[in-house]
Structure 1
Amino acid sequence: MNKLLCSAVLAAAALSPFAAQADDAAAGSNQLNNFFVTGNLGQSNYRVGGLNDKSDVFQSVRFGWRWNNIVGAEAGYTSLGQAKQYVGTTTIGVEPKAAIIGVNAKYDFYGSWFVSGHGGYLRSRTVGSITIGDVRTTEKSWNNGWYAGVGVGYNVTDNVALALNYDNYHVKYGRGGSDQPQTNGTVAAYSASIEYRF
């Protein structure tokens, strides 16, 4: 969680000069405005191969901008938690994290209420592990995938919004084309989020 908080602070600091430029530009043309940073915290629900786990923590930080507060681009980092399966004295684990880049949209439909959506490409790094007694072995796998999600929320102020969200991440484990089989999986995430707009 501390890593995500630091990432959000760094993203906000990095975007602040651009946000100031956007505000100046908005006074004349209103094109590049509404830079934002969003943090999510919730629960992940794994369906990877034969492994199912609904008990771990989902965390995400995203930053980007929107044209006219409607549609734009985003990038970020997400931790999908760790799923575990116990077979006798053996524990099988999988722990994916991903960098994401995609598009996002937000629509104010009634007063301060809004709906949102986003989706795009992800690059995941998954650590697979097997623990037998006190002996643990791990292997890392890098793969491409995609993500998409929707949310509904409320604009508390002109700069701050709260929302409830559902996201779905399609990840892989293993190296396709090699002697190691590749496993496809989905991780659903249910979360609450806070967004700060510059």
Structure 2
Amino acid sequence: MNKLALSAAVAALALSPVLSQVAHADDASTTPTYGSNVNPNWQDNFFVDGNLGQTQARAGELTHNNSVFQNVRFGWRWNGIVGAEIGYAYLGRPKADIGNGFGSFSAKPQAATIGLNAKYNFYQAWYVTAHAGYMRSRTELALTAGDFDSRYKTWNNGLYAGLGVGYDVTKNVSLALNYDNYRVQAGNETSPYYVGVGHIRTNVAAYSASVEYRF
């Protein structure tokens, strides 16, 4: 089982108690038991979330453990618990040396994402999060050897999933630590003519800290 499937499975397990409670959360006369973020007013359940961390990529010789990871998401949650999101992720720049330093090959994937997300307070202000969905990635492939430099961009489809744990600092602000996995595809049938690499697939793991603001 690859990392993405494992992340999605764990995300599904994390969402199961959340979904079982959603039916009760929209009853404003019931005292909330899910945490300080629950708000029956749907207009107050929009959020923006920013992540900063590092990625780990594994794609043959493209191995890199400390590329920069950046992610911005905007979404909405029904009763502050489960809803939809859209976002943008920068997944670092894994690089491989060619010919003992004679040249290099690198990939710079970025992705627009759309999916589902959930936030569940399990003890007072402490909470867990889960999200998963579809992404459309754009990857710039670059080959450099001596005076030769060639760059080629491809657009591909993929999936993502992630988990997090955090704390509600205030009613509107939360801090969290997160793990995400992106199933990235890059290249196509014409890319070998430009950078010598065809269609490739890899998992990119991202470890990050995040700040969420609800409004």
The question of a shared fold, defined as TM-score above 0.5 by the shorter chain, is answered with: yes
Q: Check if 1:82 corresponds to 2:99.
A: no
In structure 1, what is the Cα distance between the partners aligned to 2:44 and 2:58? 38
Equivalent residue in structure 1 for 2:78, among 56, 59, 67: 67
Could you say what secondary structure the match of 1:65 adopts?
Answer: strand
> Does residue 1:125 correspond to 2:131, yes or no?
no
Bigger proportion of residues as strand: 1
Contact 2:134-2:159 at 8 Å conserved across structures: yes
1:87-141, CA deviations, whole angstroms, 9 ceiling, x for partnerless residues?
A: 2211110000000000000100011100000010000000111111343211111
- Is 1:137 the counterpart of 2:150 in the alignment? yes
Matched ranges for 1:1-198 at <5 A: 30-31=41-42, 33-87=44-98, 88=100, 89-175=102-188, 181-198=198-215
2:20 counterpart residue number: none
- TM-score normalised according to structure 1 size: 0.81
Q: Distance in 2 between matches of 1:160 and 1:149?
A: 20
Aligned amino acid, residue 190 of structure 1: Y
Structure 1: gaps spanning 5 or more residues = 1-25
Contact 1:64/1:72, CA 8 A, preserved across alignment: yes
Deviation at 1:175, TM superposition (A): 2.1
TM-score of the aligned structures, taking structure 2 as reference length: 0.75
> What corresponds to 2:11 in structure 1?
none
| Alignment match, 2:22 | none
Residue 93 of structure 2 aligns to which amino acid in structure 1?
Q
Measured in 2, the distance between the counterparts of 1:130 and 1:31 equals: 49
Q: Is the 8 A contact 2:61 2:96 kept in 1?
A: no
The number of equivalent residue pairs is 170
Distance 2:121 2:55 in 1: 27
Percent identical pairs in the alignment equals: 56
Q: 2:199 is matched by which residue type in structure 1?
A: Q
Give unmatched runs, 5+ long, in structure 2. Answer: 1-27, 29-39, 193-197
Distance 1:31 1:179, change over 3 A: closer
Mark the CA change 1:97 to 1:62 in structure 2 (over 3 Å): closer, same or farther: same
Which structure has the larger Rg over C-alpha atoms? 2
